[in-house]
Amino acid sequence: MPLKVLDVGNCGPDHAAIRRLLSSRFQAEVLQADQAVDALQTIATNAIDLILVNRKLDIDYSDGMEVIRAIKADPKGSQIPVMLVSNYPEAQQEAMAVGAVEGFGKLALQAPETIRRLERVLGTATHP
């Protein structure tokens, strides 16, 4: 069964870049949600292996931390690893304080440390 990653709140170009990385390196299927309500519906109906949440949601620029809190408060979502997509170290610290694992920034999408962080959750990456 292929890995499934839920990408929450990223714009089209960023979602495409994330999808490209995850599908090529991890053979993961990447689903997309715009905000917390969409994410929770997707979690309820799919076996999700990882959730990525943008720091500021593209749809309305609301705070991605609220999405992480909603996911972690959900019985099914609380068991799924969540990563914040942000270049700001203080935002990563805040996300980890509410239950996320260390995420990455869009500027570091192809960085070796990003691949290692993803491998901790998704398993060993393949090399395209």
Among 108, 89, 120, 86, smallest CA distance to 9 is for: 86
What secondary structure letter does DSSP report for 59? Answer: T
Looking at residue 124, its pLDDT comes to: 87
Structural domains of the chain, count: 1
Per-residue pLDDT tens digits for 14-47: 999 999 999 999 999 999 999 999 999 999 999 9
- Nearest-angstrom CA–CA distance, 41 and 4: 15
Report if residue 29 sits inside a domain.
Answer: yes
* Residue ranges making up the domain that contains 97: 4-122
CATH code for the domain in which residue 90 is found:
3.40.50.2300
3-state secondary structure of 4: strand
Report if residue 127 sits inside a domain.
Answer: no
Report if residue 128 sits inside a domain.
Answer: no
- As to burial, measured by CB atoms within 10 angstroms (0-12 exposed, 13-18 middle, 19+ buried), residue 96 is middle
Per-residue pLDDT tens digits for 103-121: 999 999 999 999 999 999 9
Task: Take residue 11 and report the two structure tokens written for it.
Answer: 């714009």
